Structure 1
Amino acid sequence: MNLDSRRLQYFLFGQNFADGVRITLVVLVPALLFLYLGQTQAGITISLGALCVSVTDLPGPLRHRRAGMLVCLACMLVVALVTGFARLNHVLMGAEVLVFSFIFTMFTVYGARAGAVGSAAMLIMILMMDQPLSPRQVLEYAALVTGGGLWYLGFSLAVNRLQPYRPAQRALGECIHAIAEFLRLKAAFYHSGTDLTTAYRNLVAQQVVVNEKQDAVRQILFKSRQLVEETTGTGRALVFAFVETVDLYEHITATYYDYAALHARFGRTGILQEVAGLIEQMASELDSIGLAVHANRRYPADGFDLVPQLDQLKAHIDGLPEREPGLNTLVLKKVLVNLRNMHQEVQAVLAYFNPQAPIYQQSTDQLEYSRFVSRQDLSLRLLLDNLSPHSAVFKHSLRMGLVCLLGFVVARLFVVGNHSYWIVMTIAFMLKPGFSLTKERNVQRILGTLGGGLVGVGILLLVHNTHAQFALMVLLMVGAYSFQRSNYVVSVFLMTPYILILFSLMGLGFRSLLQERLLDTAIGCAIAVAAGYLLFPTWESDQLHTFMRDVVRANLRYLQQLADNLAGHPRQLTEYKLARKEVYVSSANLAAAFQRMISEPKSKRRNSEEVHQFVVLNHILASNIATLTAAVTAARPAARRPEQLRPVQQAIAALATSLHKLGEESENLPAVPAVAGHHPSTEAAGEDDQQLTEQLAFIRTVSHDISKITDAVLA
């Protein structure tokens, strides 16, 4: 199966497509039913309520989804009643736009789901601005909107009851797919002629994706008591498989070597191309396993076995010294060992398809799952603490309120049309906390609107049969709602012709409608971009120090786990995996912030090359810590010689220095472990022992390099 075919299947069996189909059904059914009953406007209003609640139905534990939708219903009812009466007076309506835009944007302090609730409430307010409603009709409208929200809530809960495991299966499948792509990118390092700088940039970008997918699975699995507490069946299999995929990801990240030196030493032998081929084959099989989990189907009975190819690689490595006397192949043997470890982890993931496997109980009961997911603070104190000019959320909320008010004034005074609320809507959904995200979203909106407008006009000019137009509109709806969370430009590209066809079927002229939409979109985007640049701007370079501090702190904690192992202390599995998770999350956050920074104006970037080096060095450090931890854990527990512990001590001291430079308080810095008291091993230092010493020295070197590059970034 080629990559394009596999990606298409991931989409068709994915949560986004399932959500797109569900939202389309929930929106269409009341509209068509009430159209049949001769109550077209009532049906559209109910559909609007359902659509707004769907915005808050983000993937996650069922109780969180249900709570989010219920809060959204309450907010929608209040907003509908207030807007229905405030719209009778322009001044009152303007005041509502200012206040509600600020309040509902402040909801983001409580996380993405609460932010979606605020977005849904703002959408109701914006869509009601131009509704010609009498006071009596306001109550009816609010009731219908709330009824539509209840309709979506009931439908969503019913689907979840019928398929309780599908969201978790889809999330896990997408996580495995992301890890397979990460592994495929690792193979590029072994190909001759690879630009290592570009390869690292691609790898770091994919690391962000992997972290997002892993966090999505954690939220669904570890916050769902039913799944965690199951002792048999699908829930237990899902938990076990996820734990194994995270372990597999650790083995993949641990495959760091000095690739330039590898190519210089072994490039002419052809062995590195063989390694790359094996990694790509493993990535392809892992992707197939992920697709099987994703689509809820069996994996082929013959499974996955690369043992013959691994044995062949071993024979080739063992034969190199015979062909080239004096060639040291120890590093290739380390690569082979890591490949075997990854192969074993992939085999362990395959146990997902055998729910009776006894390994479930042994592998997952040691972990305290609740410690692996963050708890969202929902207290009023959090909101009050953020009502400060020093809070980024407060500044963004104030900017949102002022700019939405400006859009409302512009629409009322200067824009002629029946849908001038599109200006405020564009601003509300285009204005983001950071300028880079605002600029990116606005470019996507303009491109999607222009391209989608051309497609919509083409359909309406070429397809005159209303049934065919309706069928195309349904397909466009499914596509638009399927991509709304994953690819905004595609979502807008599909939504624009869908709206044009809808209004055309309702008897409105699509040409004037398209002109109005393009004009309003352009005005709204221009206001949003200008506000993002001029009004309380937030630049990623100002936020980077926090992300850098987090990643150094995480790597320091990870290194301390290794130091404990080297000192002969037994490994605490939960503590080790928590430290590993912190490294993954903080590294991904830093990489994402760096990607946003390089899309900002050049005048606002600071030391981008140095920051990129900082990102890469921390990735290299984490990879080497993982490599050594795996090797030390596999060996017989024993205290190491002081000369082996000293590089770790020096590395910890260097990282602690970097952490202090980045603003960590002195009392929060860790104590540097002493090496006195450890007795030297009586065993003779062998080849593996020498390799361990060299790798520890390399960790010390990387840690000192991080300290130096920290100075350069802060300069």
Structure 2
Amino acid sequence: MTISILALISKHIKELLEFFKSTSFSKAVLIGVAVTIPIVLGILTQQFEIGLALCFGAFWCSPSDVSGRLKHKQIGILFSAVLVVVISFIGGYLNISNFLLFPILGILTFCIAFISIYGFRASLISFSGLLALVLSFAHTSENLEVYQYALCIGIGGIWYLTLSTLWYHINPKAQTEEALNETFLLTADFLDTRRQLIGEQPNRADLQNQLMTLQSDLTEHHETLREILILSRKSSGKSNYQSRRLLVFIQLIEMLETAVANPVNYDKMDLLFEKHPEFKTDFQNLIFEFSHQLRAIANTINKSKRFPSNNVLSQAIKTLENDILKFKDENYIEDYEHYLMLQNLLDYQIKQFEKLKKIKWLLGNPKLSSDDFIKNDKLRRFIDEQDYNPKLILRNFSFRSTIFKHSLRLAVVVMLGYGIGIFFDFQNPYWIILTIIVIMRPSYGLTKTRSKDRIIGTLIGAVLASGLVFLINNPYMYGAFGVLSLVIAFSMVQKNYKASATFITLSVIFIYAILQPDILKVIQFRVIDTIIGAALSYTAMRWLWPAWSFMEIGDHIKDSLKANTAFFKSISTYYQKKGNIPTSLKVNRKEAFLQTSNLSSAFQRMAQEPESKQNNIDDIYELVVINHSFLSSLASLSTYIQNHVTTEASEDFVIISDKINTNLDTVCSQLKVINFENQKTKTSTSKPDAFKFPVNSLTSDAISQTDSEHTHKEAHLIWEQLYWLYTLSEKMLKLTSRYTVD
């Protein structure tokens, strides 16, 4: 009992230390410094208005400071500074009649929110502009002219940019190390979930859903690391540190592909492991050790001497090899196919072992030769450039655009929220619209979750603050607690929004406790305003131009299928032509993983929406699973042909590949006219496909024509995967052909 308690305490202490070392915490401290210093200097120099304006400018520009290339961070913060200056200048003249104020407020909100069409970083710049717009209602400068106040806001933004750049140069490796560490841990979780899928499982569907979620998270981390490692390397040259981390990252990507590339025929695998449970145990132990070692490397990433030994993995692989040889001797004739399946399974695990050993070697800071470096022109193809064409505005200016509907919805709700605050003469009506812009997101599920967490967090914060303000009656203590609460709130906003809302509330109340004696009234209005803002946000997402996922899920399925098709064509071409592995194959692989991840995220959003809006969800789920299975099979083919010398592609391979491509192209064409919104399914009247896949005869022919076990393994894997791809393409074709088209 005592040991378990000590272990629990040790675990929490370790997590706390990791939190303090995280970039989220360091950024929160940076924000705390950026907003506190101008206020303190303003008070000391009796220029409080200037200090407050500098504080606002720094605070409003901080959201655009996210992980990525330094140049992109700087440009994002600079654009935020320009935007908040313009908004503050306009806001300075908004002291007009409500008759004119409401339409201007709505138009400005829409225009600022609409900036989000230019991607994730643009959405953060947009958020900075919205903060500046809302808080222009909270403070009106008494001693500064409007242009002076706006200029000070801009200087505050430059002040934050300077601090952020300085911190980056002080600790340039922080974001790389953290992103890489999280990628190690997610890869370990992915492998461990794969381990649980081995053998017959009553909850296989749940495990597969977990895999899809983990794969989506991994893909997001891969995109962040690509920007950090590839673009930073391009601008700073061939740094040994960046090159080693880039090579480690490449190994982690290939480990994910190899993990995905497990045999997809669970029926055959279950049957084998039921008869021979020792293989299930052996493979599970081996994969568990892989995940364990990845976690250990993540925890000691800069201490290579503390990495786990390779001996455990070597012994586990040796045990498997001996068991498989024993199986071959005992069941060679009657169960040769299962023997080949076991050998191919083992080959994949040996490849994983080689990748893990290379990761350990790279993290041991070896001296790299010129051959180890990857040319920038090849790497550049793995980065998706954001489209900043002005025509994007016109293309999104319609109700078919999710961002357009979100911007319009946000504008209406902001006007409504401010109107309620004015009509009922609330103490701080801008708190309502501040709650709205913080909570409301384009997706229903996230808005609903944030609304709930915001209300709970505010109530908890209000209760804690009510007790603390009675116990403490010192303005300096209020100030210290206010800044500390702000730092904690910002550091937790991505990890635990409920806790973040709690500390935001504490921070606001402590700051107001310095300015106003009747703090209980402030707490009361803070709670009421938050509840109104959250209720308006949720109501609007539910009934005002809702953007339900079923309206766009078809596009995500089509994009995923197109990416998988391009990946399959690259594999097929390379298998037929051989030679060096083309960069296009790796680029298409990356795009297939990315689009399949996007599809999983879209489906998860759909699953969070009301049941009445989950149109045709069973068929959509089946299409999502099929796309994932298709990618798994492609990964299996890709991994095998890139790591083995293969025989010449047969005419049957070409014929079957063409048939699969024809099916995929047909499915893509059908998806163009299916939106899953109002269309109903029908009984398929199409004739059965006359094409019959000769999987057994092809494998048997390949085995009978040669005594080479290597060729037998190739034939078994290639034809098994090709048959699975053909089956999946037929399933998709059958599913999509059931929908009527008006």
- Calculate the TM-score normalised by the size of structure 1: 0.90
Determine if contact 2:109/2:407 at 8 Å carries over to the other structure.
Answer: yes
Q: Does the aligned pair in 1 maintain the 2:567–2:589 contact within 8 Å?
A: yes
1:18 matched to 2:48: no
Provide the rounded CA distance (Å) in 2 between the counterparts of 1:122 and 1:264.
59
Deviation at 1:447, TM superposition (A): 2.3
C-alpha change, 1:22 and 1:352, in structure 2 (3 Å) is farther
Residue type of the partner of 2:97?
N
Q: 1:508-527, aligned counterparts within 5 Å? A: 508-527=517-536
Match of 2:260 in 1: 253
Matches within 5 A, 1:47-196: 47-134=55-142, 136-190=144-198, 193-196=201-204
SS at match of 2:387: coil
Is structure 2 residue 306 aligned with structure 1 residue 300?
yes
Equivalent residue of 2:623, what SS?
Answer: helix
The 1:391–1:630 alpha-carbon spacing in structure 2 relative to 1, beyond 3 Å, is closer
The aligned residue for residue 706 of structure 1 is 732
Work out whether residues 175 and 217 of structure 1, in 8 Å CA contact, stay in contact via their aligned partners in 2.
no
Deviations 1:639-670 (CA, angstroms, capped at 9, x unpaired):
222234433332222212211111189xxxxx
Distance in 1 between residues matched to 2:300 and 2:513, nearest whole Å: 42
Task: Output aligned runs, 1:185-584, within 5 Å.
Answer: 185-190=193-198, 193-226=201-234, 229-230=237-238, 232-267=239-274, 269-293=277-301, 298=304, 300=306, 304-305=310-311, 306-320=313-327, 328-358=338-368, 361-362=371-372, 364-365=374-375, 368-417=378-427, 419-462=428-471, 472-584=481-593
Instruction: Point out where structure 2 has 5 or more consecutive residues left out of the alignment.
Output: 1-6, 675-690, 695-700
Aligned partner of 2:639: which letter?
Answer: A
Distance 2:487 2:470 in 1: 22
Give 1:478's aligned amino acid.
Answer: V
Identity across matched positions, percent? 24
The change in CA–CA distance for 1:280 and 1:343 in structure 2 (over 3 A counts) is same
Name the structure 1 match of 2:677: none
Task: State the one-letter code of the partner of 1:524.
Answer: G
Cα distance in structure 2, aligned partners of 1:262 and 1:510: 66
Q: Give the corresponding residue for 1:668.
A: none
Give runs of aligned pairs for residues 629-640 of structure 1, distance below 5 A: 629-640=638-649
Q: Which amino acid aligns with 1:150?
A: I
How far does the alpha carbon of each residue in 1:524-568 deviate from its partner, in whole angstroms, 9 at most, with x for none?
Answer: 122222222222221100100100001111111111122123324
AA partner of residue 647 (structure 2):
A
What is aligned with 1:695?
A: 721
Say whether residues 1:32 and 2:58 are aligned partners.
no
Relative to structure 1, the CA distance from residue 509 to residue 206 in structure 2 (aligned partners, 3 Å threshold; closer, same or farther) is: farther
Distance 2:627 2:268 in 1: 20
8 A contact 1:9–1:291 mirrored in 2: no
1:572 CA displacement = 3.7
Kindly provide the amino acid, as one letter, of the partner of residue 196 in structure 2: A
Residues 388 and 394, structure 1, Cα contact 8 Å, conserved in 2:
yes
Measure the CA separation in 1 of the matches of 2:215 and 2:91.
44
Aligned to 2:681: none
Deviation at 1:596, TM superposition (A): 0.5
List per-residue Cα deviations over 1:190-241 (Å, max 9, x = no partner). Answer: 26645100001111011110111011111222222546731x4212112222
Consecutive unaligned residues in structure 1, runs of 5 or more: 666-671
Match of 1:599 among 583, 599, 608: 608
Following the alignment from structure 1 to structure 2, what is the Cα–Cα distance between the partners of residues 648 and 400? 49
In 2 relative to 1, CA 420–256 (structure 1 residues): closer, same or farther, beyond 3 Å? Answer: farther
Compute the displacement of 1:76 (Å): 1.3
* Distance in 2, Cα, partners of 1:544 & 1:538: 11
The amino acid across from 1:206 in the alignment is L
Q: Which moved more, 1:701-710 or 1:572-581?
A: 701-710
Name the stretch that deviates more: 275-284 or 46-55: 275-284
SS of match in other structure, 1:567: helix
Give the letter aligned to residue 241 of structure 1: V
Matching residue's letter, 1:547: H
On the 8 A contact 2:344/2:717 being kept in 1, the answer is no
1:354-389 residue CA offsets vs partner (Å, 9 max, x unmatched): 443446733633971111111112232222333334
By how many angstroms is 1:415 displaced?
3.8
- Contact 2:341 2:716 (8 Å CA) reproduced: no
The number of residue pairs the alignment matches comes to 699
RMSD (Å), alpha carbons: 3.0
**In structure 2, the residue corresponding to 1:433 is in which secondary structure?**
coil
2:13 and 2:617 map into 1 onto residues whose CA distance is: 37
Residue 669 of structure 1 aligns with which residue?
none
Q: Distance in 2 between matches of 1:5 and 1:553?
A: 47
- The 3 A distance-change label for structure 1 pair 75 and 633 is closer
Cα deviation code 1:34-82 (max 9, x no counterpart) = 3344555543332221111101112221111111111211111121121
1:470 to partner: Cα distance = 5.2
- Aligned mates of 1:642, 1:652 — CA distance in 2: 15
- Kept in 2, the 8 Å contact 1:236–1:360? The answer is no
CA distance, structure 2, for counterparts of residue 625 and residue 551 of structure 1: 13
- Using the TM superposition, give the Cα deviation of residue 136 of structure 1 relative to its aligned residue in structure 2, in angstroms: 4.3
CA contact (8 A) 2:32 2:487 kept: yes
Q: Distance in 1 between matches of 2:447 and 2:212?
A: 23
> What is the CA distance between 1:507 and its match in structure 2?
4.3
User: 1:120 and 1:413 mapped to 2: Cα distance?
Assistant: 27
1:227–1:239: 8 Å Cα contact kept in structure 2? no
